[in-house]
Amino acid sequence: MLLNSDLWVGALIRRAQIEGANATVVRRGDARAGTVIVKCYNTSDRTARAWSEAFGPDGDRLWIQPVTGTESEVDAWIDRQRGYDPDLWVVEIEDRRGRHFLTEKVEGQGSGVED
């Protein structure tokens, strides 16, 4: 059983804050079932990545990294996604190591909370 999006986002923000990162909801989507995008901004090297929520064949939540680059490039991609999905959540995390704090399965490169 999956958590409602608003509860899941709250837990992500709390994990990031406990580890010393700044995390905030940039856009609130549907509280129950809105898809979530996590934007990670590395304050040390000024790069950004976006992690997009997906669901695997077993129904478990997993994360893919569809875009990486400058902050403006990632923001432009997020803006396009917002046009496709009015129920979309956007969470922005600023961290000196660029961590995403996702605990679910993550496809591709990136760092979580274990780094």
CA-nearest of 76, 80, 78, 105 to 92 is 78
CA-nearest of 13, 5, 15, 1 to 92 is 13
DSSP 8-state symbol, 79: H
At 54-67, the pLDDT tens digits run 877 887 778 999 99
The structural domains of the chain, with segments of one domain joined by +, span: 5-106
Q: Answer yes or no: CATH 3.40.1530.20 is held by domain 5-106.
A: yes
At 23-43, the pLDDT tens digits run 999 999 888 888 899 999 999
> pTM for the full model?
0.86
